[in-house]
Structure formats: C-alpha cells, structure tokens
Structure 1
Amino acid sequence: MATLGIIGAGAIGTTLARQAIGAGLDVVLANSRGPETLAATVAQLGPRARAATPEAAARAGDWVVVSIPLAAYRQLPAAELAGKVVLDTSNYYATRDGHLPALDSGDVTTSELVQQHLAGAKLVKAFNNISDHHIPALARPAGAVDRTALPIAGDDPQAKAGAAELISRLGFGTVDAGPLAESWRFEPETDAYTVPYAADPDAIRSAWAQFAEALRSGTPPQLPAAGPGVPLPAARLRTLLAGASRKLTADRVIA
C-alpha cells in the first residue's frame, strides 16, 4: 500500500492527510514537537494514519509533503529525504520567517533555497498557492469537467511526474510551471496565488489588504477567511502563470 509521509501538521499538512486517506493512501504524520502531540489528530484521521518523527515520516513515504514555516527549513531531515520525491508547500513571509537576503533579492526562489538544504531529494513545489479550505472543496476525480488545476515546479522531470500522480489521486490536475527557478510564478501575491481559487476574488484581496494593514499598525491580525471556492481550469492557470510578474519582498503588500 502506498504511503504519504507528511512533515508538518498545520492546516495544509492535516488537510492533505485527510485527502490522502480518502484516496486510499496510508499517512505518516510528523511535527517538530514529537509524535505524542499528534495523538488527537491521528485519532481523528483514523486507522490509516500514524504519528512519527520527521525522520520516520521521511523514510516511510513513497512521497513526502513538507509543510512547515520556511524559517524551520534547516530542521528538515536531509539524509532521510535523500532520493525521495518531496512536495514543498512553503511560502516566504519575512514578517514570520525573518528576512532572508537571498529571497529578498530574488537570487533564488523559496523552493530553490529548500532544495539547497535537501541536496539529495527531488523537490517539487506544490500546494503552496491554494488555501487549506479550498483543497477539499475543489478536489474532483480525474476526468471531471470541473476539475481544478494546481501548478507544480521542479528540476527533475520524473519527480514532477511522480508528484503529478500523487496530486491527481488527491483530486487535482497539474500544470507544469517549469524548473524551481520559475516557481516564483505562483508564490505570494502573484496572479496564480490563492485568489483565482476563490469565488469572490475582490473580497479575498480586500481581506489580505486589511491583514497587511493590521500587521503594519501593530494590531493583532486575523487571517482572512478563504470563502467559497471556484474551480480553476488548467488553461486559465497556464495563462496566469505565463503572464505573472515577479513579486520580491519589498514589492509585496505583506512582506
């Protein structure tokens, strides 16, 4: 039986765990605080899920999803992830992760930075541009006329094919955005980031602007609600990716 290892038990990690179990996969879930802290989560997920250390989750997975704050990327178990297809969901927010000069300057993309640490792994950028709420809402079986597409990027063609197979099992089509150097095309505040999956894009943009203003003013911010989702066809996603403008940290509303 195929197994999905997941390092990071936040909103995206646990949502993908549920999708994977629904698709007939076993799940090994890990976080930075130890397997015992995931007892309640694993109990909710059911008998196809178990908790483990990040190292054990990496070893167990036929694919491994990494869904952690970018600031913690150096804690990922590089030795255990060597040779694995690793789906990287990370995004860079300097207000959360601290400023990283190589990302602020655009010398590398977020996933290129993670790939440097995971030198032996086969990294594929995926699931970073859609909200956790929209994943179960928009998942559809292969062949569905309203199937939503997600972008992927990676330097290894076989790894991208393997990631696309997993993503299809989880309910989505894929559009190849190119190598990791092009993964900026679906990073925060680009045209393909979160908004096109929302039924009310203007409401999402307004909510993010209010969130950014709260950060600047020192008011405790509240993350914007994703709202209802809307399918994003592959053809539309290709157009958004092709027309994207790169958003460096200084150019973003939420740096």
Structure 2
Amino acid sequence: MKIGIIGTGSIGAELTRKLSAAGHAVQVANTRGPQSTAQLAAEAGATPVTLDEVGAGVDVLVTSIPFARMPDIKPIVDRLPSSVPVADTSNYYRHRDGRIEEIDNGTAEGMWVEQQLDRPVVRAWNSVVQSTLQTKARPKGAPDRIAVPVAGGGWLAKRLVMGLVDDTGFDPVDAGDVEDTWRIQMAAPAYCTDLNAEQLEKALGLADRDAVLARREAVLSIIESWDHGESFFDDLVALNRAAAGLSRLLGR
C-alpha cells in the first residue's frame, strides 16, 4: 500500500518506521521540507517529499501534526480523491493548541477535525503514548498485545486503517463513528491506558461524556504541573488509568 504521512514528531516518525517495516511504500513530509526528513526516511526506507507531493497517488493519508494546525492542511487534503481515507493521530492539548471553544464545550475532537477538513476522518493511534507505540508493539496473537481504538470515517476507510493498526503491532478495536470519537480522547477510559482488546472494548462502554469532560480539566492540570522526566509516559498511563477508575477492569 502507498501511504503518505504528514508530520515527523514522535508519533509520525514512529509510524513512518513501522509502516515501512510492514512493507508499505511510505512517503513522508513536514513543514520544514524534504531535507529535514531525509535521515528518518533513509533509516525507515521511506521517501522524503514536500507537502505538495505527499498526497500524490496514495491509498491513505496519515496526519500527525499539532491539533490546532489541522486547518492548515486542508489544501493538501482537498487534492485527494474522495476514495482516499484520512487517518488522524492528533489530540487537543490546550497548553499547546490554545483554547478551542467548540471542544471545550463538548464537541468531539473527531467532529471538529472533520469540520476543519470538510471530509470524513478516521481517528487512530491518538490514544497511545509515544513510548507505547515505540516499544510495546507485539506480533498478532501475542498475549500481551495492546489494543488501539479506531473511530470515525466510513466503514471501508475504517477497515483499511484498522488493518494498518494491526501492521504496526497493535490489535485494532472498532470504537464507533465520528460522533463517538469523544470516547477516545483525553480522560476517557480508552485513552492512553494500554489495554488489551477485551479490556478496551469494556472501557469504551464505560465512557461517560460528562465525566470525560470534567476529568479532562483535572488531568490537564496535573500534567501541566509535571516535568517531562524519564518516567513521564509511564506516569501518564498510570494517571489516565486512575482518573478513569479502571482498577476493577484491570483486576487491581
């Protein structure tokens, strides 16, 4: 499959490596140009391209950029055939993105992204921390394989993206339509809690929209007070599990 990836931060770079290793033809771009992606591309076996080129001839486009910058890539997305899925990995963080009133008032993040791009979008890989994506991929059938929820888009688009999640070493779990993407955003039980497929399906069902919005403020306040030390991502998973009250689900 031919895949375009926009963004070379921790998630975009790791997806470039993993999807290339799975045998896909990956072309990768960022705002700084192909010279800045040359080393990553060489390491992964991908092709560095410009933003104008990244969507050319692809079967799927993966966006891995700061959430508030989604409107900036609309011209790129507009050039894609309607049959090409867009898979988005981003999350809304107010300390980085500034306040987005619609989301603060309850609009699901996937809905907001679709509104900016004027196109159906599949949300995937947004609910794993970067250390999980980098180090916890496992072969299909492994007993300790972590699951990744996938939501939004049409059925065919979601099925395609779920296959790519599998290729990156995680069990894909259908998390619903775009209206359900609030179930996989910050402070939801399925968000960055490193669950297996059975646990994740239960966690999706445990989500309560009002509770997610209320907990998000508390979780954000805690995270914003932290230093990003060596244990940051392990601590983040533990915080998310505790905030969502998953001790019974996890048997603890």
TM-score band w.r.t. shorter chain:
0.7 to 0.9
Aligned counterparts, 1:94-243, within 5 A:
94-106=94-106, 108-120=107-119, 122-194=120-192, 196-197=193-194, 232-243=195-206
1:34 aligns with 2:38: no
Question: 1:71 corresponds to which letter in structure 2?
Answer: A
- What residue is the counterpart of 2:213 in the other structure? 248
Deviations, residues 155-194 of structure 1 (Å, cap 9, x unaligned): 4111111111111122221111111111111111222222
8 Å CA contact retained: 1:82, 1:119: no
CA distance in 2, matches of 1:62, 1:55: 16
CA distance in 1, matches of 2:218, 2:85: 30
Higher RCO, 1 or 2 (CA under 8 Å, sep at least 6)? 1
Q: Give the number of equivalent residue pairs.
A: 215
Q: Which piece of structure 1 moves more, 15-24 or 34-43?
A: 34-43
1:68–1:192 CA distance, 2 compared to 1 (3 A): same
- The offset of 1:244, in angstroms, is 1.5
CA distance in 1, matches of 2:118, 2:9: 25
Q: RMSD of the alignment, in Å?
A: 1.8
Q: Which piece of structure 1 moves more, 240-249 or 59-68?
A: 240-249
Aligned counterparts, 1:43-54, within 5 A:
43-45=42-44, 48-54=45-51
CA distance in 1, matches of 2:23, 2:9: 21
- The offset of 1:26, in angstroms, is 1.6
- The offset of 1:118, in angstroms, is 2.3
- The offset of 1:4, in angstroms, is 1.7
8 Å CA contact retained: 2:163, 2:172: no
CA distance in 1, matches of 2:108, 2:57: 28
1:55–1:72 CA distance, 2 compared to 1 (3 A): same
CA distance in 2, matches of 1:252, 1:85: 34
8 Å CA contact retained: 2:70, 2:117: no
SS in 1 for 2:148: strand
Structure 1 portions without partners, runs of 5+: 198-231
- The offset of 1:82, in angstroms, is 4.4
CA distance in 1, matches of 2:80, 2:21: 25
CA distance in 2, matches of 1:241, 1:55: 37
Aligned counterparts, 1:41-80, within 5 A:
41-45=40-44, 48-76=45-73, 77-80=76-79
- What residue is the counterpart of 1:205 in the other structure? none
CA distance in 1, matches of 2:213, 2:97: 15
CA distance in 1, matches of 2:28, 2:139: 24
1:140–1:253 CA distance, 2 compared to 1 (3 A): closer
**What's the TM-score once normalised by structure 2's chain length?**
0.79
Question: 1:248 corresponds to which letter in structure 2?
Answer: L
CA distance in 2, matches of 1:136, 1:251: 27
- The offset of 1:41, in angstroms, is 2.1
